Amino acid sequence: MLSYQHIYHAGNLADVQKHALLACALAYMAEKPKPLSYLETHAGRGLYHLDAAEAVKTGEAAAGIEAVVDLFEPDHPYALALADVRARYGATAYPGSPALAQSVLRPSDSLHFAELHPQENAALCETMFASGAKTYLQDGFEMAHAVCPPTPRRGMVLIDPSYEIKTDYATIPSFIAKLHRKWNVGVIALWYPILTDMAHAPMLDALEARDLPKVLRHEVRFPPAREGHRMVGSGMFIVNAPFGLDDESQPLDAIFAGLGAKSR
Ligand code: SAM
């Protein structure tokens, strides 16, 4: 039974890192006129409102996107997507990765979103209804294996687990290796938390040992959301990373360094 709800954490500093890199990668890939496929194994509800009681209760968005929004250049793909979503849904709206992708991508692109939590899935379906995206009330790992290699073949998958299923850490490296064998041109992006007890470290070691192509590993550090909170940073492990994404991550490093965080 899944209990995690991203509304408590939407727009936190981990989301800022993940969503800013995602927006850069998708904006770069959408520069070519050819359509692409975009998949998410763990979509969440797609769109959040930061004045919701859950978001206000944790204060994670206040210490996250609201604290750094003005540090992004207005033409940064993440800032553009945020402005686009706020123009459509109001000033307190925050795009989860599905709404962000929809904002950056084009109607000709094919979108696939899996979300296993029934309420989150229902909200996702509502948000994505008009977009033409396919939504799946299904295990996201299974959905990715069923859909890949997708049509069109060019594209990206975001794997963004909440890691409440503890076996995720052990199973993800072989999942990614298998997915890469099926879809060798696909960009595969994994988000992971940086934890004080280093529970994420064996997964990263196993991924590094797979010798996957064009890997970009990007990490930022930040103060814990609450006293004693285990998450002290955020990382993205990207296979077949789009050209130039490393350079695009530098403004992000500067923003986190300015918060007293240590990047990479
Ligand atoms: N990607 C979203 C974003 O950035 O806006 C946040 C996703 S949240 C971190 C993780 C989500 O994965 C939760 O909504 C949870 O219900 C869902 N989930 C957990 N295990 C899953 C699985 N095996 N398949 C699909 N969804 C799953």
- Residue 263: inside a domain, yes or no? no
Instruction: Dump pLDDT digits (tens) for 20-78.
Output: 999 999 999 999 999 999 999 999 999 999 999 999 999 999 999 999 999 999 999 99
- Residue 84: inside a domain, yes or no? yes
Q: What is the pLDDT of residue 131?
A: 87
Q: Name the residue of 5, 45, 116 to mutate for ligand 1: max ligand atoms within 8 A of Cβ.
A: 116
Burial 174-207 (b: 16+ CB within 10 A, else e): ebbbebbeebeebbbbbbbbbeeeeebeebbebb
Q: State which ligand 1 atom lies nearest to the alpha carbon of 46.
A: 5
pTM for this model (two decimals): 0.97
Count: domains in the chain: 1
Contact indicator for 182, 174 with CB cutoff of 8 Å: no
The residue among 116, 106, 112 whose CA lies nearest residue 128 is 112
Active site residue 70: no
Give the active site residue among 51, 70, 139, 160.
160
3: exposed, middle or buried (Cβ count in 10 Å: 0-12, 13-18, 19+)? exposed
- Residue 264: inside a domain, yes or no? no
Distance CA(98)–CA(104), nearest Å, equals 10
Q: What is the pLDDT of residue 101?
A: 98
Q: What is the pLDDT of residue 264?
A: 39
Q: What is the dihedral of CA 161, 235, 113, 123, to 10 degrees?
A: 70
Q: Residue 244 sits in which domain range?
A: 6-258
**What residues flank ligand 1, with Cβ below 6 Å?**
2, 4, 6, 15, 40-44, 96-97, 114-117, 120, 139-141, 160-162, 165
- Residue 216: inside a domain, yes or no? yes
Instruction: Dump pLDDT digits (tens) for 86-134.
Output: 999 999 999 999 999 999 999 999 999 999 999 999 999 999 988 899 9
pLDDT band at 262 (very low <50, low <70, confident <90, very high): very low
- Residue 1: inside a domain, yes or no? no
Contacting residues for 167 by C-beta, under 8 A, at least 6 apart: none
Output the 3-class SS for 127-181.
HHHHHCCEEECCCHHHHHHHHCCCCCCCEEEEECCCCCCCCHHHHHHHHHHHHHH
Average pLDDT over residues 191-213: 96
- Residue 74: inside a domain, yes or no? yes
Q: What is the dihedral of CA 60, 141, 169, 247, to 10 degrees?
A: -60
241: exposed, middle or buried (Cβ count in 10 Å: 0-12, 13-18, 19+)? buried
- Residue 139: inside a domain, yes or no? yes
- Looking at every residue in the chain, the average pLDDT score rounds to 95
Helix 168-182 vs helix 201-209: crossing angle, to nearest 10:
20
How far does the centroid of ligand 1 lie from the alpha carbon of residue 39, in Å?
A: 13
CATH number at residue 144: 3.40.50.150
Q: Name the residue of 49, 65, 112, 115 to mutate for ligand 1: max ligand atoms within 8 A of Cβ.
A: 115
